[in-house]
Every structure is written in structure tokens, then in C-alpha cells.
A = this chain, B = another copy of it.
Amino acid sequence: MDDSGQNADGPAASKRKDARRNQQTLLDAAAAVFATSGVEAPVRDIAAEAGVGMGTIYRHFPTRADLVIAVYRHQVETCAEAGPALLAAGPTPHAALGRWVGLFVDFLVTKHGLAAAMQADNAGFETLHAYFLDRLLPVCTELLDAAAAAGEIRSDVGAYPFLRGVGNLCIGAGTDPRYDARRLVELLVEGLRPPHRP
């Protein structure tokens, strides 16, 4: 899966020193440009910001998804690792689920355009979608299972649709003060509770 040149976070310990340095430069430049113009910023802009040619970008990060993943890897890892911790700490599995989802939402809404790019069918971003899934789906499954086992939520909602739903709700957040993704996600999490029999 990581035959694409960049793995882990630091530039791979392989190859020439200038290449490693350029990779780091690129990562920094991309982070800066993403923050300003969103993850769909023109490749030329990122190259310019980094002071390198476009060929260099494509050599290090064959697809835009590779670059995005490399830039945000740390934060996604952190989010993934927070899942089990919250489950252990929280008063109930449902509360832990709520908090964990909140973390994910906080991450997404502050990354301009990331939630939209993460869409499954977004050409050129399939790898990005897959990465988020690989990393977060197991965590989400664990939390959902725990909450279901505790009888706090229905057990017929899959982690995949749920996680995608949360991601979808974050699209466009941060560009419109009237739209509060956090709130809607809270409602969705409430909606997971078993239908109360009156």
C-alpha cells in the first residue's frame, strides 16, 4: 500500500538527502497552502510555495491523495488512538462514542475541503477515502459495538455508513455560520439510541 514513496510521517529513511529535504519542504508547503486554499488547491501553487517544480511533487506524491494523507497523518493517527482511551475513560460507551465523534468532527471542520475530498467517488481521492476507512473504521466499530453491547444504541447501524454519515455532515462546515455540523452530528448520535417503547 505504501509503494508510493512516502510512508510514516518523516520522509522515508531511504534515498538521497536532497530528496528527503524536498519531501519535508513539500509537506510544509502543502500544509500551508491547504490551510489557506483548501485541499483542492492547484498543484502549481503548492510547487510554487515549496519553491520546487511540479515534477518533484508528482515524484514524491503520485496522487493528490498521497499528499493529503501525508500532511494529515499525525492527526488521523491521534484521533484513531483516542478511541480506545475514551472508551476506557468515559462514563458510558455512548458518551465515549459521542466524544470520539466530536474529535473527528473537530478535525474535519478545521480542514477546509477535506470532508468533501474524502468522498468515496471523488476521482483521484480514492486512496484518501481508503486511508480514513482503514484507520478509523476499526475504532468506530469498537465504539459502536461497545455501545450496542451496553444496550445504549441500536445494534443495526453499521460503522461504515455511520462514519460516512458523520463525514458527510461535516462537508461545507466552516464556510457558513448558519450551518453547525457539530450539532447535527450530535443529533445523529442521539438518533442511534434504541427507539424507546412508550
Chain A interfacial positions (CB closer than 8 Å to B): 116, 119-121, 157-158, 160-162, 164-165, 168-169, 171-172, 175-176, 178-181, 183-184, 186-193, 195-196
Contacts and interface: CB of A to CB of B under 8 A. Distances in A.
B165 A169 contact: yes
A192 B189 CA distance: 11
A161 B183 contact: yes
Contacts of A168: 168-169, 171-172
A92 to B, nearest CB: 13
A99 B188 CA distance: 18
Copies in the complex: 2
Nearest to A38: B121
A175 B116 contact: no
Smallest CB-CB A-B distances: 4 pairs: A191-B191, A187-B191, A190-B191, A165-B184
Given A165-B169, A169-B165, A183-B157, A120 B188 contact: no
Nearest to A165: B184
Contacts of A175: 120-121
Nearest to A116: B119
Contacts of A172: 119-121, 164, 168
B187 A158 contact: no
A178 B158 CA distance: 9
B190 A178 contact: no
